[in-house]
Amino acid sequence: MAQDDPKTLVSTQWLAAHMRDPDLRILDGSWHMPDTGRNAKAEYEAGHIPGARFFDIDDIADSRSDLPHMVPPVEKFMSRMRAMGVGDGHQIVVYDGAGLFSAARVWWMFKLMGHRDVAVLDGGFPKWVAEGREIEDMPPIVRDRHMTVRRQAHLVRDVTQVSAAAKLRDHEIIDARSPGRFRGEDPEPREGLRAGHIPGSRNVHYASLLNDDHTLKAPEETRAIFEAAGVDLSRPAITTCGSGVTAAILSLALARMGKDDHSLYDGSWTEWGMFPTLPIATGDADV
């Protein structure tokens, strides 16, 4: 069992022991790929961890962007969190219905907004249910709570910054997509995108970092996986994926390993793959 750390990852046992803490806030950050046929909001309404609020990453996003669930403006994030009763002084725990998938994206977003006390629930809702723990279908009682945001700009990268990093090779760009998508052999789930990867990037499929029960592997195991993929962990890293969701699983694993100099490419392949002027590579990662 992973060591509990309220700033990165906590166990179901930890959450069960802290359920009645007055400053604990639990968020259901479930999101599913369209081809799964799953409805995250409907699943939340059918049953969730007691007291959990639903965090919709498609709604708490930048509505001005054509890209999916991009980081929202600070003002929108603050407004949504106030309405959800989440704010200053709260210890936040985020889970999702897949085990460990989209919850890491919510964790990263709170880190970006300067909230330190936020953790992902290891194994998520499936592990909680498998252990026979309490669930409910009632919405929580919400009281407004102010949230102070101090945006940590170094935790996010845009296409211009990633393009420069790819040219200069001064960062390790780590792609969380499947090997088939990384090599350009499998089609992208979103229409109109080219196949392949950012030149110079390395492939660490997010699923390789998870155990069979969707808990995160121990830091020594994840470190070995990154190194086996050719990632030089002494260099600053940029994580990327299809649309900025599973890249956050890589970011969470890096944080658990004690690595602080990493950021996330918010637009990820949905942005990079649509621009014909941006270079792409296919096949395995180049040396």
- In a structure prediction context, what are the per-residue pLDDT tens digits for the chain, which is 287 residues long? 558 999 999 999 999 999 999 999 999 999 998 888 999 999 999 999 999 999 999 999 999 999 999 999 999 999 999 999 999 999 999 999 999 999 999 999 999 999 999 999 999 999 999 999 999 999 998 998 999 999 999 999 999 999 999 999 999 999 999 999 999 999 998 888 999 999 999 999 999 999 999 999 999 999 999 999 999 999 999 999 999 999 999 999 999 999 999 999 999 999 999 999 999 999 998 75
pTM reported for the whole predicted model: 0.97
Amino acid sitting at position 221: E
Q: Is 67 exposed, middle or buried (0-12, 13-18, 19+ CB in 10 A)?
A: middle
Give a yes or no: residue 26 inside a domain: yes
How many Å apart are CA 219 and CA 230, to the nearest integer?
17
How many Å apart are CA 177 and CA 182, to the nearest integer?
6
Q: Select from 120, 136, 151 the last residue of a domain.
A: 151
Please indicate, yes or no, whether residues 126 and 172 belong to a single structural domain of this protein.
no
Identify the domain containing residue 53 by its residue range: 9-151
Please indicate, yes or no, whether residues 13 and 135 belong to a single structural domain of this protein.
yes
Q: Is 66 exposed, middle or buried (0-12, 13-18, 19+ CB in 10 A)?
A: exposed
How many Å apart are CA 194 and CA 66, to the nearest integer?
17
- The residues annotated with a catalytic role in the active site are 241
Please indicate, yes or no, whether residues 192 and 128 belong to a single structural domain of this protein.
no
Where are the alpha helices (H) located in 135-238, listed in sequence order? 159-168, 179-183, 219-228
Where are the alpha helices (H) located in 23-158, listed in sequence order? 40-46, 74-84, 103-112, 124-130
| Count of structural domains, the chain | 2
Please indicate, yes or no, whether residues 223 and 247 belong to a single structural domain of this protein.
yes
Give a yes or no: residue 121 inside a domain: yes
Please indicate, yes or no, whether residues 176 and 225 belong to a single structural domain of this protein.
yes
- Which of 121, 144, 154 lies closest to 49 in space, CA to CA? 121
Please indicate, yes or no, whether residues 91 and 120 belong to a single structural domain of this protein.
yes
Please indicate, yes or no, whether residues 82 and 209 belong to a single structural domain of this protein.
no
